[in-house]
């Protein structure tokens, strides 16, 4: 069974993952408003991943006998200056998620909660990918600078991103 402290920390992270989804939905809206439909798609797919992160963690709390509590979700940022700034903000956010996941692992280790330590490894690995994805796009956006054709090419590439909600068997919940 989860400790009260671990339950509280995981419930807070569930809300933060939902907040992440909110942020990416907001970014998708900003991109779509500027005709960057590929980037909007990328953000929608990212938001889908965030909702899954929240779902998976909430299911774990319940499975381990913790009391799942739905906490308040903050309103995300609404405006950005450029697509580069959007992705820089996304990277900054992902780094804060990584730091929170690391804190959760530290707590699990301190409590000798081996099941939670193992469960959280999935998120540790996921964060490596999340940061790397944003970094790669930032590098491409920096390369093209103010070149409109380059921006359209990147937008076309971002349009190809997909996300499928994992089947229950692969859900590990």
Residues in contact with ligand FEO by the rule CB under 6 A: 17, 20, 50, 53, 94, 97, 130
Q: For ligand FEO, give the closer residue by CB, 21 or 38.
A: 21
Q: What is the 3-state secondary structure (H, E, C) of 39-64?
A: HHHHHHHHHHHHHHHHHHHHHHHHHC
Question: At a CB cut-off of 8 Å and minimum separation 6, what does 91 contact?
Answer: 131, 134, 135, 138
Q: For ligand FEO, give the closer residue by CB, 7 or 53.
A: 53
Handedness of CA 138, 142, 143, 144 (dihedral sign): positive
CA–CA dist 146, 127 (Å, integer): 30
* Closest residue to ligand FEO in the complex (CB): 53
Smallest separation (angstroms) from ligand FEO to the CB of 130: 4
CA–CA dist 12, 16 (Å, integer): 6
Q: For ligand FEO, give the closer residue by CB, 107 or 151.
A: 107
Smallest separation (angstroms) from ligand FEO to the CB of 10: 13
Smallest separation (angstroms) from ligand FEO to the CB of 146: 29
Smallest separation (angstroms) from ligand FEO to the CB of 150: 26
Q: For ligand FEO, give the closer residue by CB, 94 or 113.
A: 94
């Amino acid at each position: 069974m989860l400790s009260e402290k671990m339950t509280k920390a995981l419930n807070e992270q569930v809300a933060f993952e939902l907040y992440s989804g909110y942020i990416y939905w907001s970014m998708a809206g900003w991109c779509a408003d500027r005709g960057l439909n590929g980037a909007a798609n990328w953000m929608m797919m990212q938001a889908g991943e965030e909702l899954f992160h929240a779902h998976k963690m909430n299911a774990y709390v319940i499975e381990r006998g913790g009391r799942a509590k739905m906490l308040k979700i903050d309103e995300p940022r609404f405006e950005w200056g450029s697509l580069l700034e959007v992705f820089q903000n996304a990277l900054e956010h992902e780094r804060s998620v990584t730091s929170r996941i690391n804190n959760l692992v530290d707590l699990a280790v301190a409590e000798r909660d081996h099941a939670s330590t193992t469960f959280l490894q999935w998120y540790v690995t996921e964060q490596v990918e999340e940061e790397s994805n944003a970094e790669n796009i930032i590098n491409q956006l920096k390369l093209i600078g103010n070149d409109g054709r380059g921006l359209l090419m990147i937008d076309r590439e971002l349009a190809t991103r997909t996300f499928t909600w994992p089947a229950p068997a692969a859900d590990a919940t």
